[in-house]
Amino acid sequence: MSTYKVLIADDEMPARSKMKRLLKKFDDIELIHESENGVDALEQITKLKPDIAFLDIEMPGLNGIDVAANLEGEETPYLVFATAYNEHAIRAFELNAIDYLLKPFNEERLGETLEKIRNSPRGKYLEDLRKGIEQ
């Protein structure tokens, strides 16, 4: 089974804790970093190259939209915005977000997001690539 490396970026500890708790329920998810602000998120995405980045919108330094706007190229992870603000959804999708989770969300909704990633062409490519490496 393939594992997706995940970065969470949210300035609120309770939100990060909830996301971690929900993600632990999925066997193919590995949390590799938590960011409390957008500057750290951008640096760590560039350095660690996660497969998926869950970004809050309102964060100090850079907001989640700014983080996404500063990412480019093939190394850009799947971007999922997890936020309480629905007014940023159009801009998020313009930046190629694969999903937009409105807080509060639950395990089922998060599972739908992860399934969308798994079933995307890039998700299937990553799965096949990892299977080839494991063999």
Query: In Å, what is the CA distance from 69 to each residue of 14, 28, 63, 94, 95?
Result: 26, 27, 10, 10, 7
pLDDT digits (tens, 9 = 90+) for 78-107: 999 999 988 999 999 999 899 999 999 999
Confidence of residue 129 (pLDDT cuts 50, 70, 90): low
For the entire predicted model, the pTM comes to 0.89
Place of tokens 């063999």: 135
pLDDT at 128 exceeding the cut of 70: no
Segment 48-83, tens digit of pLDDT: 999 999 999 999 999 999 999 999 877 799 999 999
Is the per-residue pLDDT at 134 higher than 60?
Answer: no
